């Protein structure tokens, strides 16, 4: 493992994926073309996922129907009957939540099935990914991409506290974050997984220390994000409106923000959920970008 911490190199690039496999990037299209077993495994996982999603959705539909029937008939029910119906609804809802977790939980059936299907071909996948890039090569590539596409948005993820990671490694990763200035970064603490080589590696990092290192990296990244967001201030951006939190105040995203994991756009203006609006970025607030309707569009 490179001594730049546990750099997993999953850069999500807006472009340049054609040259990505030469470095530390994942070229999914290349993998699909060169490892048919991966495509087959993915198709099986997609099929299972859709099947289980339907089963869970159908179950929740039953819960909703039970609740509607209860509401419609409640005036005709005695207190004992109401209690029984309520308990039945709660029990059914819990059953569906448990089933959803069984299928899609962190170590659920879908995760286990993926492990079963992908593990036999993971060496081929890693080979196809061709993870060979050095730190210097990565820095050169990032600089080239930014020169070519000034509005390019880059994100990556790191693991803090991988077994054997020293304080010097953690400091090197901190400096790497400051040096590369990715627009968005996710930092996760290393979590032991049964059956992996890392579980039995020497020099395991204490949980509290892993968390401390992770928090420090996120603090460093916040300063980078605030700096990177400034380049959008004063510019016109297209915002996808996702939720109206108060009258005329929306939460949304623009093209440089991934759902759930990156910051948001806090937009002031009118609109409709699920639609795009043209807005002017006016400032920043932590990880978020502030924007308002362009005059004449509000």
Segment 114-144, tens digit of pLDDT: 778 876 766 565 565 555 567 788 889 999 9
> What pLDDT sits at residue 179?
93
Return contacts of 123-129, CB within 8 angstroms, 24+ apart: 124/35, 124/37, 124/38, 125/31, 125/35, 125/38, 128/21, 128/27, 128/30, 128/31, 128/34, 128/35, 129/21, 129/25, 129/26, 129/27, 129/31
Q: What is the pLDDT of residue 93?
A: 92
pLDDT (0 to 100) of residue 163: 85
Low-confidence ranges of the chain (pLDDT < 70): 1-35, 106-107, 119, 121-133, 195-197, 199-201, 296-298
Q: How far apart are CA 113 and CA 103, in angstroms?
A: 10
> What are the helix (H) ranges across 105-200?
109-118, 122-129, 135-148, 167-180
> Are the C-beta atoms of 22 and 130 separated by less than 8 Å?
yes
Do 6-24+131-229 and 233-293 come out as alike in CATH topology? Answer: no
pLDDT for res 249: 95
Cα dihedral 226, 228, 234, 239, rounded to 10, equals: -90
The predicted structure's pLDDT at residue 273: 94
Range list of β-strands (E), 177-275: 184-189, 236-246, 249-253, 265-268
Report the CATH fold assignment for 6-24+131-229. Transcription Regulator spoIIAA (3.30.750)
* Pairing state between β 249-253 and 265-268: antiparallel
Q: What is the assigned CATH class of domain 233-293?
A: mainly beta
Is the dihedral angle over the CA atoms 124, 125, 128, 133 positive or is it negative? negative
The DSSP secondary-structure symbol of 26 reads -
What is the structure's pLDDT at 214?
Answer: 96
Q: What is the pLDDT of residue 189?
A: 94
Q: What local confidence, expressed as pLDDT, does residue 32 receive? A: 63
pLDDT value for 1 = 38
Helix, strand, or coil (residue 280):
strand
List the chain domain ranges. Answer: 6-24+131-229, 37-118, 233-293
How far is Cα 241 from Cα 220, in angstroms, rounded to an integer? Answer: 29
Helices 36-73 and 79-104, interaxial angle, to 10°? 170
Length of the chain: 298
Which tokens belong to 15? 């472009």
- In sequence order, the 6+-apart residues with CB closer than 8 A to the CB of 171 are none
pLDDT of residue 238: 95
Strands 265-268 and 288-293: parallel
pTM of the model: 0.53
């Amino acid at each position: 493992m490179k001594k730049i911490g546990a750099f997993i190199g999953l850069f999500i690039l807006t472009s340049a994926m054609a040259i990505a496999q030469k470095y530390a990037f994942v070229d999914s299209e290349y993998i699909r073309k060169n490892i048919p077993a991966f495509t087959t495994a993915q198709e099986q996982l997609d099929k299972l996922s859709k099947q289980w999603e339907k089963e869970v959705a159908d179950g929740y539909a039953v819960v909703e129907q039970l609740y509607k029937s209860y509401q419609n008939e409640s005036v005709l029910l005695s207190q004992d009957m109401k209690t029984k119906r309520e308990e039945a609804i709660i029990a059914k809802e819990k059953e569906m939540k448990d089933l959803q977790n069984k299928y899609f939980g962190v170590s659920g059936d879908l995760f286990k099935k993926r492990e079963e299907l992908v593990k036999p071909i993971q060496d081929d996948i890693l080979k196809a990914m061709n993870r060979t890039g050095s730190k210097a090569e990565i820095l050169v590539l990032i600089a080239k991409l930014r020169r070519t596409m000034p509005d390019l948005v880059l994100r990556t993820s790191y693991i803090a506290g991988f077994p054997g990671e020293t304080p010097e490694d953690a400091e090197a990763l901190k400096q790497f974050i400051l040096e590369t200035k990715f627009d968005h970064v996710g930092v996760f603490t290393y979590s032991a997984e049964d059956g992996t080589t890392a579980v039995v590696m020497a020099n395991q990092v204490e949980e509290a220390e892993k968390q401390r290192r992770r928090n420090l990296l996120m603090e460093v990244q916040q300063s980078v994000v605030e700096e990177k967001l400034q380049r959008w201030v004063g510019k016109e951006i297209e915002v996808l409106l996702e939720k109206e939190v108060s009258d005329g105040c929306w939460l949304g995203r623009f093209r440089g923000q991934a759902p759930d994991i990156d910051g948001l756009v806090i937009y002031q203006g009118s609109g409709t959920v699920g639609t795009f609006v043209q807005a002017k970025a006016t400032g920043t607030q932590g990880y978020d970008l502030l924007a308002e309707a362009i005059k004449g569009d509000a």
